[in-house]
Amino acid sequence: MQWINTERGYGWLSIALHWLAAFAIIMMFWSGFAAENAGELGDRAARRALMGFHIGFGASIALLLLARVAAHFAQPRPTPIAQQKPLMLLSGATHLLLLVSILIQVISGPLAVWSGGRDINVFDFFAIPTPFAAENEAVHEGAEVAHAIGRWMLLVLIGVHIAGTLKHAFIDRDGVLRRMLAPTKP
């Protein structure tokens, strides 16, 4: 069983981390936007519950997302499919910026909670205590802005990533999507 990437394709570790991270990010978008919507509608109880889920789930998946980023840099990368140079640059930049966006979210999310003077409650099972002695408005505002920027970066970059995948699957028909579904057979 091919666990690690090779020049020919991705290994099971990268494939599993990619799809688990994709699911986790979808859940984070859903809960974050739903909480924001509930707040705009004035439903404070729903907003509180959704933010509780968002924060607890975020804490639960933080190590998974960090593993996704680390695995990208720790393993060999499959040889890219040949295409025009501007598309190669766009692909490389998109992948790198997706990883940077994930890091922004994993760092800014907890900082926003902690600097607001709260511990991170993980579904009432345990709490990750704040390292701040008191609320820190400057850090809190900075973390909130970084989290918003990271969120919109992720949305745009995921759109570019999906568009590239669709191009490879339906126009180029070059097997790029297949490489992310199962390791390439020798």
**What pLDDT is attached to residue 78?**
93
pLDDT digits (tens, 9 = 90+) for 29-83: 999 999 999 999 999 999 999 999 999 999 999 999 999 999 999 999 999 888 9
Q: How confident is the model at residue 184 (pLDDT cuts 50, 70, 90)?
A: confident
Q: How confident is the model at residue 12 (pLDDT cuts 50, 70, 90)?
A: very high
Q: Can you give the three-state secondary structure of 91-115, one letter per residue?
A: HHHHHHHHHHHHHHHHHHHHHHHHH
Q: How confident is the model at residue 147 (pLDDT cuts 50, 70, 90)?
A: very high
Secondary structure element (H or E) that encloses residue 55, with its range: helix 44-74
Q: Are 115 and 132 in contact (CB under 8 A)?
A: yes
CA dihedral of 164, 168, 172, 176, whole degrees rounded to 10: 140
How far is it, in rounded angstroms, from Cα 87 to Cα 97? 15
pLDDT digits (tens, 9 = 90+) for 79-107: 988 899 999 999 999 999 999 999 999 99
Q: Are 72 and 13 in contact (CB under 8 A)?
A: no
Backbone angles phi, psi at 47, to 5 degrees: -60, -45
Q: How confident is the model at residue 186 (pLDDT cuts 50, 70, 90)?
A: confident
Fold held by 12-179: Fumarate Reductase Cytochrome B subunit (1.20.950)
**What pLDDT is attached to residue 30?**
98
Domain boundaries, the chain: 12-179
**What pLDDT is attached to residue 185?**
79
Q: Are 58 and 109 in contact (CB under 8 A)?
A: yes
User: Judging by beta carbons within 10 Å of its beta carbon (0-12, 13-18, 19+), is residue 36 exposed, middle or buried?
Assistant: middle
